[in-house]
């Protein structure tokens, strides 16, 4: 999630590069971030419903556990 100050009109807008089309805007950070979080959750839910294989892979691992291919990058 990337926060962008809107210099011309004030407020903020948010983009989510990993999920094209997930954008939001608001007068305050909270007003911009909250709908972006909802959009992310809805997009991920939709991806999981459209791809049972992806859904199975995501459910096999606790949310806090890094995938094995990334675990070595963050260890000691």
Give per-10-residue mean pLDDT for the chain (76 aa). Answer: 90 89 90 90 83 62 53 47
Give residue 76's pLDDT. 44
Kindly tell me the burial class for residue 37, based on how many C-beta atoms sit within 10 Å of its own C-beta (0-12, 13-18, 19 or more). Answer: middle
Q: SS3 for 38?
A: helix
DSSP 40: H
Residue position matching structure tokens 């939709």: 46
Cβ proximity of 31 and 20 under 8 Å = no
Model pTM score: 0.58
Cβ proximity of 54 and 48 under 8 Å = yes
């Amino acid at each position: 999630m990337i926060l962008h100050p809107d210099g011309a009109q004030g407020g903020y807008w948010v983009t989510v590069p990993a999920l094209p089309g997930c954008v939001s805007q608001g007068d305050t950070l909270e007003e911009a971030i909250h709908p972006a979080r909802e959009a992310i959750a809805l997009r991920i839910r939709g991806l999981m419903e459209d791809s049972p294989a992806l859904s199975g892979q995501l459910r096999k691992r606790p949310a806090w556990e890094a995938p094995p291919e990334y675990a070595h990058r963050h260890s000691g």
